[in-house]
Amino acid sequence: MARTLSRSLASIVEALELTQPETITLAELANLAKAAGLHTDPKVLAGRLRDRGWLLPTGTRGVWEFAPGAHAGAYGHGEPTMVLRAALERNPGLGASLALGTAAWAHGLADRLPARLDVAIPREQHIPAGLARETRVTRFTSRLEPASLKHVPTHRIETVLVHLAAQPNAVHSWSSVQEWLPDAAAEADPKLVRKELANRTKTVSVRLGYLLETLRPDIGASLQPYVGGKVWFGPRGSLRRHSERWQVADTLLPFDPLMLTADGEAR
């Protein structure tokens, strides 16, 4: 697909081709226009570059993906985390990270990327419209600093495990979790698990112990002292199973954690 350029736009695209940014903000575009001696409103420049296929939407207002000439058309980089990258470009203090199944994919534990990114944002932060529209957003604040994977902040494996126990209803597909949970459990550092559990309710520790009892008996044993009254795993309703040891009423899981093996299959 041929993409035309006026003389003024050519100077902007030339500058972009030199630096090859994957995303560009309105402020950065304004700086490029100023350096090129252009007096055109940056929003007008952005509109013209969008119309000609040089800038592509990211889902976040004021942030675009640059489609360089080497792409031979208005095609993006194919980066699946671009929507989160754009949101963080606009608001670096957002505190958003890849979470749950998407974080498992970023860590190389899950074979498939979920159809929509799982993104966690702290409760005190406003959820950008683009992320709300394009991703599955959960309200979750990690205790551990996220890793940097796929060009974006990503929950550590220990955070993913605790998140599963803290918000089991937020998981899109527990059947998918069953596939990568054994590998995640095997890689988890007990010290980091304890840090992620710090200052959380006892119910989170109990659910995690129930989930990891056979996959990581060392972590499970350390969480046994938190067992007290009944804890629900899933919404209150018809039981799928009940654990006497953990006093967990499980209404949600499509598998029995006690039957999980290292390869993720039920015994």
Domains and CATH numbers, the chain: 7-71 (3.90.56.20), 82-155 (no CATH), 171-267 (no CATH)
Identify the three-state secondary structure at position 115. coil
Q: Which residues of the chain have pLDDT under 70?
A: 1-4, 69-78, 263-267
pLDDT of 68? 76
What pLDDT is stored for residue 54 in this prediction? 83
Residue 17: its pLDDT value, please? 84
The long-range contacts involving 44-49, CB below 8 angstroms and separated by at least 24 positions, are 45/8, 45/9, 45/12, 48/6, 48/9, 49/9, 49/12, 49/13
Calpha distance 105→32 (Å, rounded): 36
- pLDDT at position 4, please? 65
Which pLDDT value is given to residue 135? Answer: 94
**Token pair recorded at residue 87:** 């949101």
Three-class SS of residue 100?
helix
pLDDT at 182: 95
pLDDT tens, residue by residue, 195-247: 999 999 999 999 999 999 999 999 999 999 999 999 999 999 899 999 999 99
Instruction: Report pTM.
Output: 0.75
